[in-house]
Amino acid sequence: MSGNLLQTPIEYLKGVGPQRGNLLRKELGIHTYADLVNFYPNRYIDRTRYYKINELRNNPAEVQIVGKIVHIKTVEQKKGQRLVATFTDGTGEMELIWFQGIKWVRESLQLNAPIVIFGKCNVFNGLYSMPHPEMELLKDHEQHLRSAMQPVYPSTETLANRGISNRVVNKMMQQLFLETGNTFTETLPAWLLEELKLVSKNSALFNIHFPKSANALAKAEFRLKFEELFFIQLQLITKNIVRKQRIKGHPFTKVGPYFNEFFNRHLPFDLTNAQKRVLKEIRNDMGGSAQMNRLLQGDVGSGKTIVALMTMLLALDNGFQACLMAPTEILANQHYLGLTELAKDLNINIKILTGSTKTADRKIIHEELENGSLHILIGTHALLEDKVKFQNLGLAVIDEQHRFGVEQRSKLWKKNDIPPHVLVMTATPIPRTLAMSLYGDLDISVIDELPPGRKPIQTVHRYDTNRLKVWKFIRDEIAKGRQIYIVYPLIQESEKMDFKDLMDGYESISRDFPLPQYAVSIVHGKMKPADKDSEMERFSKGKTNIMVATTVIEVGVNIPNASVMIIESAERFGLSQLHQLRGRVGRGAEQSYCILMTGHKLSNDSKTRMETMVSTNDGFEIAEVDLKLRGPGDLMGKQQSGVLNLQIADIVRDREILQLARHYAIKILKGDASLSKPEHQVLRVVFMEMSKKQEIWNYIS
């Protein structure tokens, strides 16, 4: 069918008109016929089953019953009236109730005529009632084209109030299929439909809106989910292939003195097999003529920094400069300290540039960058300023990339004629399924083992009522010479309350752990950067035993002597945040502990989070649970979630379909990267349309 008809504005559909058209646009984003076709039901009701009134004890949400109205009355109530009809089916009686449109309803009701009612039932004192039922004369009901499974479409309060009920949307859908004659262009190649036994586009669209049976519905859903995920993967993988062909990189062919000297003489510990494997993947990438674009995932403490440094040394060996960009000053400082310590015997010039770098120092940095005597620059967003010019930037390492938008990454690229190799690092493990969809255009490396000598952190969940025991445990640990973190949640909306929690906590801890025997530090977002740094400094030098903080310390500070992390109101944190906070301890050789403190009243999700934390230290396992609890949009934050504006597929529940879709997208592009073979003509057409627009679904019809 021609795509032109599908681009018709929705108000031209019979029964819609300008007013309804405006509502559909505003409330549901339905602008055209194509948008309506791809507006899928979110559940279905089985309309093949008729209930009897005496069976309503264990009724599902909505029921339909055949019977007749035997009596009608109007009842006065506080505000206005309600209309009540007595309905019977021979096995019992119930009431039908209307609060609105009483005059019109009353005129349309017929006594003793066989009718079919449908709706939700309420029960009060043993008497059932159905407010605002759908009603139809039995003889009309039997003649209608009706699918066994009745679709229920997503709706909004405004639509319900303005009379656009589920029934109205259903009518619009029927009208649409009449006008289009249910002929939609096939978007997948014939061989693929055959190989995967997929139903045709026509059959899928018809059965998603008017399913003949549960089986037909399942086939339609599978086909549409596969198609949605398949085209996303096709887009991402093409992007990756095109990038490798078009975007030339600097080939780093030499492994020279910097790398060898460090590897042979200054490695602080043996590399794990995972680190060796990742370095090999990185060297392969950078040795070719294409630009590297690799995502390095590794749990907290898995040794990503050393891999980053060795990658930078390869850049220096090939005559290039490198930079590392971090999202916060604290983190940038920590990378700076960590890297200068690791490279102290290598005669390398490493500097740091952040918002608080003094003007005189900036001047030196700018000069040294341009004359090439500065080898490695570490910094925050300050690296993106136009004034920051490199002589020849060969490698950009970006830490915690989900905090940087895509535009920011591309600013770094533009600092050279040939873009630098890019290594993106994250300590937020991303489940494979999500990584395939969000970073399908990046190659992925994973460091999945911890360095030797690290003991796994022991995690326990304690209720507020156990606090005295927890405090005793802290005293014992401090007596052994260890340090303690106590973290309070900070949630923007209720900053006053949170700040009070933190200050109350700080005061009671200072009372329970008094000077001179104990010393307590405090760090929170409202402090001046200099005060924050000096408190951090005191703690890291061991001058204070306890650090009371908000989540400011989530990413950052490395204090090997801190062995206990106490998280207050742990139920108010997300899983990945709890896991990140736990990673602040366990950095020395001593046994470390994480104690999750909560109240007794916990939601099911909170219970699941606490159980997950106690049972595993594996960041990837935790990320999988987090994805199931929160859904993909939340997990990736604002910048990324737009990628996954999925209409029918669900990244978590449909993982197998996603893997299948990715497999076929790779298979097709390997054999026919430009989609020019005759059998891929249909793909090429859809793909060209997709490239013009951001939203995938408007043109898959």
Which CATH number fits the domain that encloses residue 392? Answer: 3.40.50.300
Place 466 in a pLDDT band, splitting at 50, 70 and 90: very high
Least confident of 324-333, 469-478, 492-501: 492-501
For residue 641, what pLDDT is reported?
Answer: 37
Residue that the structure tokens 């991402």 belong to = 236
Within a domain: residue 671?
yes
**Token pair recorded at residue 490:** 């900070």
Kindly report, residue by residue over 99-112, the tens digit of the pLDDT.
Answer: 888 888 999 999 99
Within a domain: residue 661?
yes
Within a domain: residue 39?
no
For residue 454, what pLDDT is reported?
Answer: 76
Closest by Cα among 393, 399, 358 to 377: 393
For residue 701, what pLDDT is reported?
Answer: 33
Within a domain: residue 646?
no
Average pLDDT over residues 214-240: 91
Mean model confidence pLDDT for the chain: 87
Kindly report, residue by residue over 565-580, the tens digit of the pLDDT.
Answer: 999 999 998 888 899 8
Determine contact, residues 602/608, Cβ cutoff 8 Å.
Answer: no
Which CATH number does the domain housing residue 138 bear?
A: 2.40.50.140
For residue 655, what pLDDT is reported?
Answer: 79
Q: Are residues 561 and 671 in the same domain?
A: no
Kindly report, residue by residue over 644-665, the tens digit of the pLDDT.
Answer: 567 888 776 787 898 899 999 9
Say how many C-beta atoms besides its own lie within 10 A of residue 243's C-beta: 16
For residue 498, what pLDDT is reported?
Answer: 65
Closest by Cα among 324, 353, 231, 335 to 669: 231
Q: Is the pLDDT of residue 361 over 90?
A: yes
Q: Are residues 263 and 211 in the same domain?
A: no
For residue 192, what pLDDT is reported?
Answer: 97
Last residue of a domain, one of 110, 145, 180: 145
Closest by Cα among 323, 332, 692 to 529: 332
Q: Is the pLDDT of residue 424 over 80?
A: yes
Last residue of a domain, one of 568, 591, 616: 616
For residue 650, what pLDDT is reported?
Answer: 79
Q: Between 144 and 494, whose confidence is greater? A: 144
Place 200 in a pLDDT band, splitting at 50, 70 and 90: very high
Average pLDDT over residues 582-603: 90
Place 167 in a pLDDT band, splitting at 50, 70 and 90: confident
Place 350 in a pLDDT band, splitting at 50, 70 and 90: very high
Backbone angles phi, psi at 455, to 5 degrees: -95, 140
SS3 for 293?
A: strand
Q: Are residues 351 and 386 in the same domain?
A: yes
Within a domain: residue 681?
yes
For residue 513, what pLDDT is reported?
Answer: 96
For residue 492, what pLDDT is reported?
Answer: 52
Q: Is the pLDDT of residue 387 over 50?
A: yes
The rounded Cα 638 to chain-centroid distance in angstroms is 9
Q: Are residues 213 and 274 in the same domain?
A: no
For residue 633, what pLDDT is reported?
Answer: 52
Average pLDDT over residues 21-25: 95
Within a domain: residue 466?
yes
Q: Are residues 547 and 591 in the same domain?
A: yes
* Rounded percentage of the chain residues whose pLDDT exceeds 90: 54
Within a domain: residue 684?
yes
Q: Are residues 227 and 324 in the same domain?
A: no
Q: Are residues 482 and 383 in the same domain?
A: no
Last residue of a domain, one of 447, 467, 498: 447
Average pLDDT over residues 50-56: 88
Place 433 in a pLDDT band, splitting at 50, 70 and 90: low
* DSSP percent split of the chain into helix, strand, coil, nearest 5: 50, 20, 35
Place 638 in a pLDDT band, splitting at 50, 70 and 90: very low
Q: Is the pLDDT of residue 260 over 50?
A: yes
For residue 3, what pLDDT is reported?
Answer: 60
* Rounded percentage of the chain residues whose pLDDT exceeds 70: 90
For residue 32, what pLDDT is reported?
Answer: 94
Q: Are residues 322 and 471 in the same domain?
A: no
Q: Are residues 545 and 408 in the same domain?
A: no
Determine contact, residues 421/296, Cβ cutoff 8 Å.
Answer: no
| Residue 55 domain boundaries | 48-145
Q: Are residues 77 and 112 in the same domain?
A: yes
For residue 568, what pLDDT is reported?
Answer: 94
Domain count, the chain: 4
Kindly report, residue by residue over 122-142, the tens digit of the pLDDT.
Answer: 888 888 999 999 898 998 887
Within a domain: residue 187?
no
**Token pair recorded at residue 322:** 């490198």
The pTM assigned to this predicted structure is: 0.65
For residue 169, what pLDDT is reported?
Answer: 94
Q: Are residues 516 and 438 in the same domain?
A: no
For residue 635, what pLDDT is reported?
Answer: 44
Closest by Cα among 71, 125, 58, 115 to 89: 115
Q: Are residues 589 and 534 in the same domain?
A: yes
Q: Is the pLDDT of residue 178 over 90?
A: yes
DSSP 8-state symbol, 465: G
Least confident of 45-54, 366-375, 638-647: 638-647
